């Protein structure tokens, strides 16, 4: 019995180490993706001859680059994530010249709980709202970023008033988020959302297992809302993932 207990303990530890290694691998993929997309804004600004804007963008991106390089853990404090997000929003405000209004409302009610989340969790959701929601809308747009405690969960929401999605498009996104890679494109529309969105979903799954969720609600023509639920307590949950 002691031998079996030892073997089970070692197997559990190995699973945790493999999961952490996979999370780090996904994080390494996420950093250059994030920086590449951000640097592309500088290139466009330079091409348009917007010298002052280009200088401001480079300064803001250098701050993000420094923060990104310093991130070497699988999770960071929520306030550090918000600080990184604010730099990204500043860059987008410069680039979009007032076409989009960002409303950041992260409540302080659970800050004392020392909430830890995977780095670059919120930014890809904002990027997704910009390029798959607001970009396809005529006129000005608005994006809300909310964070609050609900029971034993930290809830993070990113909502836009952009183009929205049909139910068929929503189902394609759900299939992709569930990891149904072979089925996602067989029938119906291709899922909206890029590499960053599905990278976030995979890192959340590996970090928290069944205790975490990433959900989307959308109405065609009215916008989309992404909701992330993360346990306030730390730790792994591998139940049902053998």
- The residue ranking higher by pLDDT, 147 or 54, is 147
Long-range contacts of 187-190 (CB under 8 A, 24+ apart): none
- The residue ranking higher by pLDDT, 17 or 212, is 212
pTM of the shown model: 0.73
Cβ-in-10-Å burial (0-12, 13-18, 19+) of 164 comes to buried
* Residue that has been written with the tokens 């999961």 in this structure: 19
Write out 28-68 in H/E/C secondary structure: HHHHHHHHHHHHHHHHHHHHCCCHHHHHHHHHHHHHHHHHH
pLDDT of residue 32: 64
| DSSP tag of 219 | E
Q: What whole-number percentage of the chain has pLDDT above 90?
A: 12
- The residue ranking higher by pLDDT, 141 or 41, is 141
pLDDT confidence band for 79 (50 / 70 / 90): confident
The yes-or-no verdict on residue 42 having pLDDT over 70 is yes
Alpha helices (H) along 99-232 = 122-129, 167-177, 195-208
- The residue ranking higher by pLDDT, 179 or 170, is 170
Q: 177 with 194: CB under 8 angstroms?
A: no
- The residue ranking higher by pLDDT, 72 or 102, is 102
Compute the distance between CA of residue 157 and CA of residue 89 in angstroms, rounded to an integer. Answer: 15
Compute the distance between CA of residue 16 and CA of residue 29 in angstroms, rounded to an integer. Answer: 20
pLDDT confidence band for 239 (50 / 70 / 90): very low
pLDDT of residue 238: 41
Q: Ranked by mean pLDDT, which of 10-14, 112-116, 237-241 comes out on top? A: 112-116
């Amino acid at each position: 019995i002691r031998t079996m207990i030892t073997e089970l303990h070692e197997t559990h530890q190995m699973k945790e180490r493999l999961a952490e290694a996979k999370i780090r691998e996904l994080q390494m993929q996420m950093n250059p993706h994030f920086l590449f997309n951000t640097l592309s804004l500088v290139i466009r600004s330079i091409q348009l001859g917007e010298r002052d804007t280009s200088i401001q963008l480079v300064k803001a991106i250098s701050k993000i680059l420094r923060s990104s390089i310093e991130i070497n853990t699988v999770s960071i404090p929520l306030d550090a994530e918000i600080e990184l997000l604010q730099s990204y929003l500043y860059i987008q405000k410069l680039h979009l010249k007032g076409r989009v209004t960002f409303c950041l409302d992260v409540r302080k009610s659970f800050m004392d709980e020392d909430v830890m989340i995977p780095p670059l969790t919120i930014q890809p959701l904002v990027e997704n709202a910009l390029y798959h929601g607001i970009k396809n809308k005529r006129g000005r747009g608005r994006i809300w970023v909310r964070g609050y405690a609900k029971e034993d969960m930290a809830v993070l929401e990113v909502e836009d008033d952009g183009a929205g999605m049909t139910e068929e498009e929503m189902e394609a996104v759900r299939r992709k988020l569930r990891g149904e890679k072979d089925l996602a494109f067989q029938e119906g529309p291709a899922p909206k959302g890029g590499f960053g969105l599905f990278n976030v979903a995979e890192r959340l799954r590996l970090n928290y297992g069944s205790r975490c969720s990433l959900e989307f609600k959308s109405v065609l023509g009215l916008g989309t809302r992404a909701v992330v639920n993360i346990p306030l307590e730390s730790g792994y949950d591998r139940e049902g993932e053998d």
